[in-house]
Each structure stands twice: as C-alpha cells, then as structure tokens.
Amino acid sequence: MARGRRLRGTAALRRLVAQTRLAPADLILPLFVKEGIDEAAPVASMPGVAQHSLESLRKAANEAVASGVGGLLLFGIPAVKDGSGSQADAEQGIVNVALRALRSDLGDSTVLIADLCLCEYTDHGHCGVLRGDAVVDNDETLRRYAAIAVAQAAAGAHVVAPSGMMDGQIAAIRGALDSADRVEVPVLAYAAKYASAFYGPFREAAEGAPQFGDRAGYQMDPANSDEALREVAQDLAEGADAIIVKPAMPYLDIVSRVARAVDVPVAGYQVSGEFAMIEAATERGWIDRDRAILETITGIRRAGADIVITYWAAELARRLNS
C-alpha cells in the first residue's frame, strides 16, 4: 500500500495530517439590519438568513459571538433612500444605531465590521453618487465614503470595509479616519471585487439592486486575473490593512495569487449565490449539505484565505466546537 493511502485509513489519521484546518475564529458572519421592522424578515432566496430588526440583530449577534465566530459584518437597510445615500452616515441611520447597540452589548469581545458602500442607501442602487449623465461620480463618491467611514468608526465599528470599488477609496477613507483621530481603525478593503452573477440573493437581502444598468464599470471583469493584483497593490499602497476577494469559490485562483503576493490578512467572501446554490441543491436532495459547507469553506482556506466571510459562519462555528 502506498504512503498516501496509509495516512488516510481512519478519520483520526486524516485529522492528524490535515494541512488545512478551520477554527471558529477564522469565520465572519454577515448580518442585515433593516429600519422600521419589528421582527426578523426571512430572505426567500437565502434560507436561514433574515433582514433583522434592531432587537433580533442583537440576539443573532450575541448567539454568533457565543459560537466563537471571529467577527460580524454589518449591512444596513434604511427606511428612506435618496440620491446621496444620506442615511449611510446619519447619526440615527440604521447601521450606525445598530453599531452603537452591538458595541454596547459586545464591547471588544468580537470584531464589528461595517460594510462601507452606498448601494443600500441610494434610491438608484449604485455604489456612489451619480453625475447628470447617470455615471457614478468617482470623486464625489470618495467624499461620501470618507464621511461614512468617520461616522461608522464613531458609532463603534472596529473595522470599516469599503466595497464600492471606487478609484482612490482607501486613501480617502484612511485620510478621513486619521484626521478624525481614528487612526486605530483598520480598513478591510474589498480590493478584488468582481462584477459577478453570484450577488443576486444578496441584492434581495440588502435591497440594493441597481435600478438601471449594472456595476461592470467599476467592479472587476471576471475574465481578468492580473488586474486583481494591481487593485490589491494600489489599495495596500493607499493604506489598506487587509484584503477581501469577492466572490470566493469562482475566484479561488485569485485568492491564491493574492495570498502569495501580500503580507496582510486575506479574506475570501463566500457570497450569497454560493450559499443559495448549496441550500437549493440540499432542498432537492441533490447534495449532502453539511459536507458541502465544510468542503467549500475548507477549499477557500486551502487556497490561501486567512479569513472566510460566510453566511454559515455561526452554524459552522458551533459544529467545529462540538
């Protein structure tokens, strides 16, 4: 018998020699909080995921932290949207109210990460402020991102995570945080975020689908790999502290290339479409759900991700602890 087979003979042997290991602290759970609702509202395309009220968010967050997850990634859905996404940095905007509540509940026992974008807050659904010709105004959007970063940090975010893919966004955000005496707040950059078909269920959950056109003009082309390294290098030069590759599974080659190229933490985002496919296949009896969850997340870590952002974070953390 060959050496390889001898080391696979029992579950205990396989566990002993495993190269890739998962721990609850490697996992980040995305959470949605919606203004103006009294109880959690299930997201039809994402079984087990909900738009939370403030109170149900606090309960879900506390349960996730008790399971051992490494952090929480917060998305807000305001009751009123406008062209500038004014609720994103409003003191009483839903995400900032939620951040204050979670920081009060959890203190520094977990990492509260605020997604920093405008798509959930604008009435047109794009990730920035529009010019008169309905094209995103990059520089005006940077001014909005800077204000949002300061507001989120003041509300209690440990980390801000800009996801809009605007040119120069990290420099603008880092400069604004430093000027506001928030030098301790890291920037987790969605540096390699692709214009993907796998975001559909998220857009239902976050109510942030563009009302016209698409985001291919500012998100990355799925055909390109070298471009990801250029975007990552630029974000690091501007002050990013860690990097996200999004989506994860269709872009494991990008996760691997980025992880080899940088000396900062790399996160792979297992996005809503990846989640929904496995849940849908499970519902039809086509796949072993628990094995598929573990296999896909292990694959993201094996490709080089230090952190995995996944909607199964709390569930998997409980399994890993059992």
Residues involved in catalysis: 193, 246
Helix (H) or strand (E) holding 303: helix 289-303
The DSSP output letter for 132 is: T
Query: Residue type at 233?
Result: A
- Nearest CA to 118 out of 159, 150, 76 is that of 76
Contacts of 302 (CB under 8 A, 6+ apart): 19, 20
In whole angstroms, what is the distance from residue 128 CA to residue 140 CA? Answer: 8
Residues 148, 86: Cα–Cα separation, whole Å: 9
Cα angle 27, 98, 173; round to 5: 75
**CA dihedral sign, ordered 247, 199, 250, 308:** positive
Per the DSSP assignment, residues forming a β-bridge with 193 are 246
